[in-house]
Amino acid sequence: MEDAAGDLKQALPNVCDGIQIHVEVHQKSSSVAKKEDIRMSVLKLLNRHNIVFGDYKWTEFDDPFLNNNVQSVAIVDTELKLKERQPIDLSTSSLSLHIFHLNEEGPTSENLEEENEDITAAHHWVLPAGPPGTGKTSLCKALAQKLTIRLSYRYRYGQLIEINSHSLFSKWFSESGKLVTKMFQKIQELVDDRDALVFVLIDEVESLTAARSAFKAGTEPSDAIRVVNAVLTQIDQIKRYPNVVILTTSNITEKIDMAFVDRTDIKQYIGPPSTAAIFRIYLSCLEELMKCQIIYPRQQLLTLRELEMIGFIENNVSRLSLVLKEISRKSEGLGGRVLRKLPFLAHALYIQSPSVTMTTFLQALSLAVDKQFEEKKNLADCV
């Protein structure tokens, strides 16, 4: 096996080595194996497959120990390391292994009492806790997942508090600011645990931080102004702690109070998914459908990186992947939620059998994309 790997490296003169590679190892929830034993088995796996072409994921293993204890082994974030699209030699790279369990209990609710009424003010996850999605909120959750895994040597677990912005507006005048303070007091209790990395996610943050300049001056400040003041005060208090990260999303940034904007360290615009992102979304959906044998028999699909490595040349191995790339290209402009639903719609609208070949399914997916744009145009014409 080592000789074969050496021959492969000689055949690829531009192999990249000597860089740091992150390997995320998802330990099965039922596994009680020691992390060091898993680490040794994963290193043996990587030693047998030491030339990779970018990000790669194993979900099936020849090693019985890995099959029994590991859900997946993934080489991740290689695009952040490489400016050029060359293969990677793992044997000469610095490997950082991150072994983790996923919490499968789901979120709990954080309730606040007001006038004999329970208000669900936030949802609370123990991280890491499941697969991320594709929208702004899901990207924030994915970032929380990633940092929890990467910083597991420093923090034993992560906590994610997703604040329900709309619930914090009380039907009782002047009570909303008090509810915000109560919510952050609960968050403070989590932050006091130095073994936890705490993420506070405020979705649609403009609901809590509306620009105060938009309100007319009066003898008493409006409830909305009280809420903004309370949010700013509470954020100033908890951001001093090293184990807390505040994440927010907004669709109407011009409505946010400038005092809040000035407090943000990183502002990132998230546009519609690119062709490459759409390709990955579709690819993950197709993998799931093959796993469930809705698409059968299983077909090998190349990643975009692998297609680039062969110069997008069409052959028996690349043909279906190139078809998927073209479908991804014409899907540009669709949002993440729609893209996730399209494989389901393709099956529901154009496939009349419980099992279908990949070729037929891709034809149906292409038709579903066309139909989606047609419906968007019809709706626009009606406005």
Question: How do residues 246-283 score in pLDDT, each as one tens digit?
Answer: 999 988 877 888 899 999 999 988 888 899 999 999 99
Q: Pick the closest to residue 267 from 279, 254, 280, 277 (CA basis).
A: 254
Residue 215 has pLDDT above 70, yes or no: no
Question: 149 or 219: whose pLDDT is higher?
Answer: 149
Mean pLDDT of the chain, nearest integer: 86
- Bridge partners, 299 (sequence order): none
Q: Which one of 132-136, 174-178, 230-234 scores highest in mean pLDDT?
A: 230-234
> Which tokens belong to 267?
């502002």
Residue 323 has pLDDT above 80, yes or no: yes
List of residues 6+ apart from 297 with CB closer than 8 A: 357
pLDDT band at 325 (very low <50, low <70, confident <90, very high): very high
List of residues 6+ apart from 319 with CB closer than 8 A: none
| For range 184-202, the mean pLDDT | 95
Q: Are 236 and 181 in contact (CB under 8 A)?
A: no
The pLDDT score that the predictor gives to residue 53 is 78
Q: What are 75-122's pLDDT values in tens digits?
A: 998 876 555 567 888 988 999 999 999 987 788 888 887 666 777 888
Q: Are 161 and 200 in contact (CB under 8 A)?
A: yes
Q: Which one of 16-20, 95-99, 137-141, 178-182 scores highest in mean pLDDT?
A: 95-99
Residue 378 has pLDDT above 70, yes or no: yes
pLDDT band at 52 (very low <50, low <70, confident <90, very high): confident
pLDDT band at 74 (very low <50, low <70, confident <90, very high): very high
